[in-house]
Amino acid sequence: MIKLTSVSKEYPRRGAALRDVSFEVRKGEFVFLTGHSGSGKSTTIRLAHFADRPTSGEVRVSGYSSERLPERDVWKIRRRVGCVFQDFRLLPGRTALENVAFALEVTGTPSKAIGPKANRLLSQVGLAAKAGAPVNELSGGEQQRVAIARALVSEPVVLLADEPTGNLDDRATRGIIDLFFELNAMGMAVLMATHDLELVRAHPHLRVLELDQGRLVFDSAGEAR
């Protein structure tokens, strides 16, 4: 699903954000990506979303390669890969339903199908009752649910999440993680960047990748991969 092979990423004047990173996330896997602030987590998520390209090495996601996919075709990846962020990135002043509906519109959903599908997605993330609420009047946990519903519009096979619980309290965090588990149980691969070690330790059965200064220093699945 996601495969990084000897990936390095250098930013002008900043040196290397990632150094020779290789790992693979398979279909239906749930993986935590951990590491201190500045270790390269967000860079990894951006590369996996093709929001940026590696300086060297290859990123493959859902069959597409960073070496071969032209910039004008990046939307094809976005149809297969959903992404959510710490700061939600919703349209302020719009309702939960409008936020999801807008994403459906952009992906070419026939207009008659948009309303029912947006409502169904909001139900899926446990937010049916708040469909008509402006997103800025929702709690952080609820806003993240809207963002997740929006990420699901194209029925992705991979969900990327960059510190999705970074702005949430413990209770909302558990709710979001449980929702990720539900989506994962339906077959979606999840790569979730977090510096919250407590959260990672609370799920010892899940695979953990750890970055340190741009290097992959630990993979709980071992060297065999």
By the criterion CB under 6 A, which residues form the site for ligand ADP?
A: 11, 14, 17, 35, 37-43
Q: Does 144 bind Mg ion (CB under 5 A)?
A: no
Residues 38 and 16 sit within 8 Å (Cβ to Cβ)? no
Angle (CA) 71 108 161, round 5°: 60
Would the CA dihedral through 31, 200, 46, 124 be positive or negative?
positive
Q: Centre a 10 Å sphere on the Cβ of residue 204 and count the other Cβ atoms it contains.
A: 8
Q: Which does 194 bind (CB under 5 to 8 A by kind): ligand ADP, Mg ion, none?
A: none
Q: Which of 42, 44, 99, 184 binds Mg ion (CB under 5 A)?
A: 42
User: Which CB atom, from 119 or from 194, has the smaller least distance to ligand ADP?
Assistant: 194
User: Which CB atom, from 58 or from 87, has the smaller least distance to Mg ion?
Assistant: 87
DSSP secondary structure of 184-221: HHTT-EEEEE---HHHHHT-TTSEEEEEETTEEEEETT
Q: Does 44 bind Mg ion (CB under 5 A)?
A: no
What lies within 8 Å, CB to CB, of 213 at 6+ separation is: 19, 38, 39, 40
CB of 197 to ligand ADP, least distance (A): 13
CB of 162 to Mg ion, least distance (A): 6
CB of 189 to ligand ADP, least distance (A): 20
Q: Which does 111 bind (CB under 5 to 8 A by kind): ligand ADP, Mg ion, none?
A: none
User: Which CB atom, from 33 or from 176, has the smaller least distance to ligand ADP?
Assistant: 33
CB of 75 to Mg ion, least distance (A): 24
User: Which CB atom, from 47 or from 125, has the smaller least distance to Mg ion?
Assistant: 47
How far is residue 181's CA from residue 166's CA, in Å, rounded to a whole number? 18
DSSP 163: S
User: Which CB atom, from 35 or from 54, has the smaller least distance to ligand ADP?
Assistant: 35
Strand order in the sheet with 207-212: 81-85, 158-162, 189-193, 30-34, 207-212, 215-219
Stretch that binds Mg ion, among 6-14, 38-46, 145-153, 209-217 (CB under 5 A): 38-46
Task: State the Cα torsion 91-178-113-93 to the nearest 10°.
Answer: -20
User: Which CB atom, from 45 or from 101, has the smaller least distance to ligand ADP?
Assistant: 45
Which residues here bind Mg ion, judged by CB under 5 A?
41-42
